[in-house]
Structure 1
Amino acid sequence: MARNLLQRIEAFLAESAMPPSVFGREAVRDPRLVADLREGRIAGLRIICRVEHFMNKWRADHRAGRVAPCGDLRLYAVRHPGETP
């Protein structure tokens, strides 16, 4: 089940272009979540539910046009000078 979770997370990261540390921080307040899962960490049911909920909510918000930029907003300012995120 944990392997399947990691595969779903990897697909989500590719879909959302979200950095793994941002995903972990936003989903479960653990920036090392994805790195630890890649290293073999086994997620419990509570973590799995929180991750699934986060991905489902992000997709719904994305379809509705309510997704804010994620990641380091300082990089956004460098790439898009003068625009607000």
Structure 2
Amino acid sequence: MLIRTIEKFLREQDMAATKFGRLAAQDPRFVLDLRNGRIPRTVTERRVEGFMNAYRAAQYAA
């Protein structure tokens, strides 16, 4: 599930849920909405997964 992946990412990166939402989905409430049962579209899931992968890659490259 996407929310589990995001929660793990937030812990790994020590990132606030609102910051993640702004960066990954242009929606500061994105994670809160997922926690409350929102089901994102497939396109949104792919974009968010891509953001997490790119963010991790940038962290390890630095």
Query: What TM bracket, shorter-length normalisation?
Result: over 0.9
Bigger radius of gyration: 1
- Bigger RCO (CA 8 Å, 6+ sep): 2
Are 1:31 and 2:28 matched, yes or no?
yes
- Is there any run of 5+ residues in structure 1 with no aligned partner, and where? 66-85
Secondary structure, aligned partner of 2:45: helix
Give the TM-score of the pair, scaled to structure 1.
0.72
Superposition misfits of 4+ residues, deviation over 3 angstroms:
none
User: Which string of whole-angstrom CA distances, capped at 9 and with x for unpartnered residues, describes residues 25-78 of structure 1?
Assistant: 00010000000000000011111011000000000000011xxxxxxxxxxxxx
- Is there any run of 5+ residues in structure 2 with no aligned partner, and where? none
The structure with the greater share of residues assigned to helix is 2
The percent identity for this pair of structures is 48
Aligned residues: 62
